[in-house]
């Protein structure tokens, strides 16, 4: 088995490693990185780059095929000023520092414009993608739809019949993809008793303090209830992506990590193996547990920019990308209640586990808490991969500064 691996021998960062990551004076032993604190600053800067030392993972193999090269065409970007949302315009270095960046790679027309590593990160280090994992899951789902193995209109219970009679009855794959299931699930990251934090105990992301929790995530799904009908307004809940991954596994008879390897990581020409965290029974955390290198995240973004094609071969079905970027009126209306003023003006929406910022251009991205992003600006032919360790799970101001900065950078590079 490739999944459900045993916990590694060493689960903690040494004092020297943590000092390197934080630039801080030596910590006493009780301040070292552990399962209880790895998501909190300053420990997340080591933790996000050493997930396999903390949590069981399944390997997403890159295979033996050729690596997709990212030819270098580096530019001096020091003169570019980026709007920062507080009346300031800043240079690239300040932007990276004040958005807590660990890695930053920019492609223009497939050529590498700049590649930066900070806070101890290296080119061969995998970094937690958080909810950019959802976008990875989406394109693999698209490949399965294209192969006729499942359909967005399928009922979840068609593939997982044991969920019949639970809150998932009547829920479709489309409801999961667009975050429109009726499931009650509290995603308040600041509340350690919220569902999104409690279920991390099942996924082995936190020490277990709730003894009554099920042994694995598949036994957790039937315990949930609905807060409204399926197909209602957009409501972001990570658990929906995890159930989507289980549906994908049932539709194919393959494990999630192997599906990602077969349908994305190998054909896109990844340079390094990726990995995904798993629970005690080997179930993948598809919503946020994928870990990858910065350059492979950029390769994923370039594949999205290239309409899913590499060297003339379709990897992500073009129809899936079109469906993602097409402003279906029902999808836009469902998103409108959560949209900002600018998002409403641009007609933004959420579709197929992607944030479509401006469908007319289009500009779209995958986003994860603590500042993970793969950003695609089609008019500028720019892809930005950004890995970060914000000191909090989510902050609207940091998010605003990040998106504003990436928009301005893409437009500056394109001229």
Catalytically active residues, by annotation: 131
CB contact at 8 A, 83 and 89: yes
Distances (CA, A) of 195 to 224, 264, 299: 10, 30, 33
Cβ burial 47-74 (10 Å sphere, 16+ → b, else e): bbbbbebbbbbbbbbbeeeeebebeeee
395 torsion bin: left (phi>0), alpha (psi -120 to 50), beta (else) = beta
**132-146 and 294-305 are packed helices; what angle lies between their axes, rounded to 10 degrees?**
50
CB contact at 8 A, 239 and 246: no
> How many Å separate Cα 157 from the centre of its chain?
26
Tokens of 127: 């970094």
Tokens of 239: 């658990």
Cα separation, 408 vs 158, whole angstroms: 45
- Residue 279: name the closest of 221, 366, 226 by CA: 221
- Residue 68: name the closest of 363, 390, 413, 301 by CA: 301
Residues 6+ apart with CB under 8 A from 55: 35, 203, 204, 205, 277, 289
- Name the one residue in this structure whose structure tokens are 């079905």: 317
Cβ burial 124-134 (10 Å sphere, 16+ → b, else e): ebbbbbbbbbb
Cα angle 220-223-229, degrees, rounded to a multiple of 5: 115
Helix (H) or strand (E) holding 53: none
């Amino acid at each position: 088995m490739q999944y459900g691996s045993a916990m590694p021998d060493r689960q903690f960062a040494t004092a020297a490693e943590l000092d390197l990551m934080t630039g801080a004076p030596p910590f006493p032993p009780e301040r070292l990185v552990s399962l209880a604190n790895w998501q909190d600053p300053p420990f997340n800067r080591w933790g996000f780059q050493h997930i396999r030392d903390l949590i069981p993972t399944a390997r997403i193999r890159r295979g033996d095929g050729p690596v997709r090269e990212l030819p270098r065409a580096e530019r001096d970007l020091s003169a570019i000023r980026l709007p920062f949302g507080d009346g300031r315009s800043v240079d690239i270095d300040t932007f990276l520092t004040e958005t807590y960046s660990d890695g930053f790679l920019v492609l223009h027309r497939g050529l590498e414009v700049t590649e930066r590593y900070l806070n101890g990160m290296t080119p061969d280090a995998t970094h937690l993608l958080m909810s950019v994992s959802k976008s990875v899951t989406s394109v693999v789902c698209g490949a399965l739809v294209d192969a006729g193995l499942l359909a967005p209109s399928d009922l979840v219970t068609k593939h997982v019949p044991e969920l019949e009679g639970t809150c998932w009855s009547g829920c479709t794959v489309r409801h999961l993809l667009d975050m429109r299931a009726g499931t009650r699930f509290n995603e308040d990251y600041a509340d350690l008793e919220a569902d999104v934090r409690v279920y991390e105990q099942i996924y082995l992301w936190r020490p277990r303090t709730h003894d009554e929790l099920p042994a694995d995530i598949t036994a957790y799904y039937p315990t949930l209830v609905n807060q409204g009908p399926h197909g209602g307004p957009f409501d972001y809940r990570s658990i929906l992506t995890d159930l989507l991954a289980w549906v994908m596994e049932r539709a194919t008879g393959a494990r999630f990590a192997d599906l990602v390897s077969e349908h994305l990581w190998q054909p896109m020409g990844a340079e390094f193996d990726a990995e995904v965290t798993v629970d005690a029974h080997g179930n993948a955390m598809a919503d946020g547990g994928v870990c990858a290198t910065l350059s492979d995240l950029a390769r994923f973004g370039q594949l999205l920019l290239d309409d899913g094609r590499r060297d003339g071969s379709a990897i992500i079905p073009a129809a899936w990308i079109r469906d993602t970027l097409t402003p279906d009126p029902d999808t836009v209306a469902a998103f409108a209640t959560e949209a900002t003023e600018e998002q409403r003006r641009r007609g933004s929406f959420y579709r197929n586990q992607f944030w479509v910022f401006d469908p007319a251009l289009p500009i779209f991205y995958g986003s994860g808490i603590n500042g993970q992003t793969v950003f695609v600006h089609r008019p500028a032919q720019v892809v930005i991969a950004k890995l970060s360790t914000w000191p909090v799970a989510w902050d609207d101001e940091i998010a605003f500064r990040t998106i504003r900065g990436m928009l301005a950078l893409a437009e500056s590079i394109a001229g």
